[in-house]
A and B are shown apart, each in its own frame.
Chain A
Amino acid sequence: MAYKILKREELNSQVIRMDIESPPVARKAQAGQFIILRVDEFGERIPLTVADTDPERGSVTIIFQTVGKTTMKLAGKREGETIEDFVGPLGRPTETEGLKKVAVVGGGVGCAIAYPVAKKLSSLGCTVHSIVGFRSRDLVILEKEFRAVSDRFVLTSDDGTAGEKGLVTDALKRLIEAGEAYDEVIAIGPLIMMKFVARLTKEYGIKTVVSMNPIMIDGTGMCGGCRLSVGGETKFACVDGPDFDGHLVDFDEAMARNAAYKETEAREREEYCRLLGK
């Protein structure tokens, strides 16, 4: 099978947006769900969360950061070219029913996943406060899109070059302290960010949902590679998640597991870079 790249756009130096042609996935996918793709015949299967869909055009938007060999290969594909495999939508959609006021917290490329959730909540009439954080100005993505669906928008950066200087947890804490009463906080970003958001909201007793993105192969419950400890129970992110109660997730274990192939990945990335003469 081959799936066409209908559109390719660089959001910043490391993050790329692509629209992939897949009418069945475009018809079905909801915010919070993910797809699995394979770039070429010997490529690995990687999960990426659905950033947007256009059911009429039959396209699915993915946004990814180039971190390893596979994402570099993917980034090297141009508009009109194809990738080998694309399957989904997998996982459960983010639960949005009955929510009246939500803080959506996004970090880095995780904002690509936080955005469709904010958009969906907004379309359902929910009050949305978006707090998004990046390392610096040049890495900011989707600012305009977030503003359009948020009742309140806070941009933070580690170095102060964009929005306010500081972490998303600082901004979230300030809003909560100022009396904003959220039904729920939805946090999507690096594991370390989600861990600290969950730690903060626990103090205030605010329900917090996090979106996990562990190592996966099939995405249908078959390999168990994506297992996590949630409230002392083993869960499979691919079929039980990817959303989980942030107050119950064992983030330290998840961080260790995500680093399982760090050395291999670093080596492969380097070899691939050398191959490309970069």
Chain B
Amino acid sequence: MPNMQKEKHPMPTRSPEERRSTFGEVALGYDEETAVSEAERCLNCRNPLCVKGCPVMIRIPDFIRKVSLRDFEGAYAIIHESSSLPAVCGRVCPQESQCEKTCVRGLKGESVAIGRLERFVADRHNAASSGQIEERTRISNGHKVAVVGSGPSGLTCAGDLNRLGYDVTIFEALHVAGGVLVYGIPEFRLPKEIVRKETDELIRNGVEIKTNTVIGKTMTVDELMEDGYEAVFIGSGAGLPRFMSIPGENLKGVYSANEYLTRVNLMKAYLPESDTPIRRAKRVAVVGGGNVAMDAARSALRMGAEEVSIVYRRGEAELPARKEEVEHAREEGIVFRLLTNPKEILGDEHGEVRAISCVEMELGEPDASGRRRPVEKKDSLFTLDVDTVIMAIGTSPNPLIKSTTEGLVTEKWGGIVADEDGRTSRPGVFAGGDAVTGAATVILAMGAGKKAAAAIDAYIKEKNAK
């Protein structure tokens, strides 16, 4: 008999008071009994809509059934068929707009907590095996593929190709693998140890990861192909920060969210032993309303800020961040200054930020994106005293590869042009993730990496059949 409880089992979390001063993970995860009881809420639909909502098509009811039978390794094996990063996705996927959105249990109550169960299964596996997975006997097919970037799309593409027998090398510009999972998403949402376990597992399975290698600089895509890589997958992300082009943006104390988060996450500026400096901000304004803005605001709080505000030009309903992230931010005491748009950042005589001047906005007619367009309220200019401003208004694809790869067609805004399966204008060159779509989610990037892996396999097979 299924468990007909209407609500999901709540996720145990650290108290907001405790959270304010620690980078320790906020969500603590289900225990075994809660997971099994939650799994029993799944009706095991014959035509499971949840699977269609998953960009990598995990066999969701099948793994949940294994959980209800307490066969946790069996559940892990099912997830792992489709996803190389279960512990990551269980944490950062927007399940509410994907698998859980279409769950039939959501019609009368709440959907099954698919994401929380995925996380439980992955964490349980990682703890039980202490990262050791049984050795797969992989037989190399002798074909080499290069993957540029070790973020979600690159790791997924590499994992799938490795399973198909390809010799895969990932080239990463930074000194650790993981891309946005290590430089962008904070420790309190995604512990870096988890990312490391996932990348270690790829390495153990035969994927080579070359850090400190910037494709477009250290080597070009063409040089990779001359080196015998039969196909190249570009998953270089959307790492170029945007600014607003308002006066005062180059004052000391104005960060891009990328810079702030990189200092905290990648460079570990929150640890005393780290040599990387960061401002000890007291009053912070974070401009933007997406997940990155929430991450930056909540990081600033944990770095000791007394007041952190989100400054966003639209309203509550338009906040692009996940609801859960907004809730967590509110609980921790982040101030939401909605319908507010910055006009200028003001500095003192030393060139340090002292305030941000803003106008109030109201919502007008819907724009091209379907969201109501914010318009300025007359005579509403006011200043907010802050010592630090973090710009979290989006990122664009990095131009390093575009500018060094002849014949690679890109969009005006910088995205690489690729079809559904990741094929670009250059034969043998595939692309996916944020480098193609612009900033999006981890799971969409993984979906793109997966499709590209299948297309690369088909491409190399066809090429060699001739």
Please list the residues of chain A having a beta carbon within 8 angstroms of any beta carbon in chain B: 1, 24-25, 28, 38, 42-45, 69-70, 73, 84-90, 217-218, 220-225, 227-229, 234, 239, 253, 256-257, 259-261, 264-265, 268
Does chain A have a CB within 8 A of B466?
A: no
Does chain A have a CB within 8 A of B11?
A: no
Asked whether B268 lies within 8 Å of A42 as measured between CB atoms, the reply is: yes
Q: Which of B219, B262, B271, B399 is the one whose CB lies under 8 Å from A218?
A: B262
* Shortest distance between the CB of B318 and any CB in chain A (Å): 25
Cβ–Cβ < 8 Å partners of A73 in chain B: 275
Asked whether B212 lies within 8 Å of A86 as measured between CB atoms, the reply is: yes
* Shortest distance between the CB of B278 and any CB in chain A (Å): 8
Cβ–Cβ < 8 Å partners of B173 in chain A: 87, 218, 220
Asked whether B175 lies within 8 Å of A87 as measured between CB atoms, the reply is: yes
When each residue 236-248 of chain B gets 1 if its CB lies under 8 Å from chain A and 0 otherwise, what string results?
0001110101000
Q: Are A87 and B252 also in contact (CB < 8 A) when A42-B268, A220-B173, A222-B258 are?
A: no
* Shortest distance between the CB of A48 and any CB in chain B (Å): 14
Cβ–Cβ < 8 Å partners of B351 in chain A: 253, 256-257
Q: How far is the CA of A127 from the CA of B219 in the complex (A)?
A: 32
Cβ–Cβ < 8 Å partners of A220 in chain B: 173, 214, 217, 239, 398, 400
Cβ–Cβ < 8 Å partners of A224 in chain B: 240-241, 243, 256, 258-259
Does chain A have a CB within 8 A of B218?
A: yes
Cβ–Cβ < 8 Å partners of A228 in chain B: 250
| 5 closest A-B pairs by CB | A256-B351, A223-B259, A87-B212, A261-B277, A222-B239
Total residues of chain B contacting the partner, CB 8 A:
42
Asked whether B175 lies within 8 Å of A221 as measured between CB atoms, the reply is: no
Q: How far is the CA of A43 from the CA of B276 in the complex (A)?
A: 7
Q: How far is the CA of A69 from the CA of B276 in the complex (A)?
A: 10
Q: How far is the CA of A260 from the CA of B174 in the complex (A)?
A: 24
Query: A84, A264, A265: which has the most chain B beta carbons within 10 Å?
Result: A264
Q: Are A257 and B250 also in contact (CB < 8 A) when A28-B217, A44-B276, A217-B262 are?
A: yes
Q: How far is the CA of A268 from the CA of B274 in the complex (A)?
A: 11
When each residue 195-214 of chain B gets 1 if its CB lies under 8 Å from chain A and 0 otherwise, what string results?
00000000000000001111
Does chain A have a CB within 8 A of B273?
A: yes
Asked whether A223 lies within 8 Å of B400 as measured between CB atoms, the reply is: no
* Shortest distance between the CB of A273 and any CB in chain B (Å): 14
- Return the chain B residue nearest A226 by Cβ: B259
Asked whether A88 lies within 8 Å of B252 as measured between CB atoms, the reply is: no
Q: How far is the CA of A264 from the CA of B255 in the complex (A)?
A: 17
- Return the chain B residue nearest A227 by Cβ: B250
Asked whether A44 lies within 8 Å of B275 as measured between CB atoms, the reply is: yes
Q: Which of B174, B218, B243 is the one whose CB lies under 8 Å from A24?
A: B218
Does chain A have a CB within 8 A of B350?
A: yes
Q: How far is the CA of A224 from the CA of B174 in the complex (A)?
A: 15
Does chain A have a CB within 8 A of B328?
A: no
Q: Which of B252, B268, B279 is the one whose CB lies under 8 Å from A256?
A: B252
Q: How far is the CA of A265 from the CA of B251 in the complex (A)?
A: 19
* Shortest distance between the CB of A183 and any CB in chain B (Å): 26
Q: How far is the CA of A261 from the CA of B219 in the complex (A)?
A: 33
* Shortest distance between the CB of A272 and any CB in chain B (Å): 9
Q: How far is the CA of A49 from the CA of B400 in the complex (A)?
A: 19
Does chain A have a CB within 8 A of B249?
A: yes
Asked whether A221 lies within 8 Å of B399 as measured between CB atoms, the reply is: yes
Asked whether A229 lies within 8 Å of B250 as measured between CB atoms, the reply is: yes
- Return the chain B residue nearest A3 by Cβ: B212
Q: Which of B219, B249, B252, B262 is the one whose CB lies under 8 Å from A223?
A: B262
- Return the chain A residue nearest B263 by Cβ: A217
Does chain A have a CB within 8 A of B267?
A: yes
Cβ–Cβ < 8 Å partners of B175 in chain A: 1, 38, 45, 84-85, 87
Q: How far is the CA of A229 from the CA of B253 in the complex (A)?
A: 16
Q: Which of B218, B252, B399 is the one whose CB lies under 8 Å from A25?
A: B218
* Shortest distance between the CB of A186 and any CB in chain B (Å): 22
Asked whether B218 lies within 8 Å of A43 as measured between CB atoms, the reply is: no
Cβ–Cβ < 8 Å partners of B183 in chain A: 218, 222
Q: How far is the CA of A195 from the CA of B263 in the complex (A)?
A: 30
9 A-B pairs with CB atoms under 8 Å apart are A24-B219, A45-B175, A90-B217, A218-B174, A221-B398, A223-B258, A224-B243, A234-B249, A256-B251
Cβ–Cβ < 8 Å partners of B256 in chain A: 223-225
Question: What 16 additional pairs, Cβ within 8 angstroms, besides A220-B400, A222-B241, A239-B400?
Answer: A1-B175, A42-B273, A42-B274, A45-B267, A45-B276, A70-B275, A87-B218, A88-B218, A89-B218, A220-B398, A221-B400, A222-B262, A223-B241, A225-B259, A229-B250, A265-B277
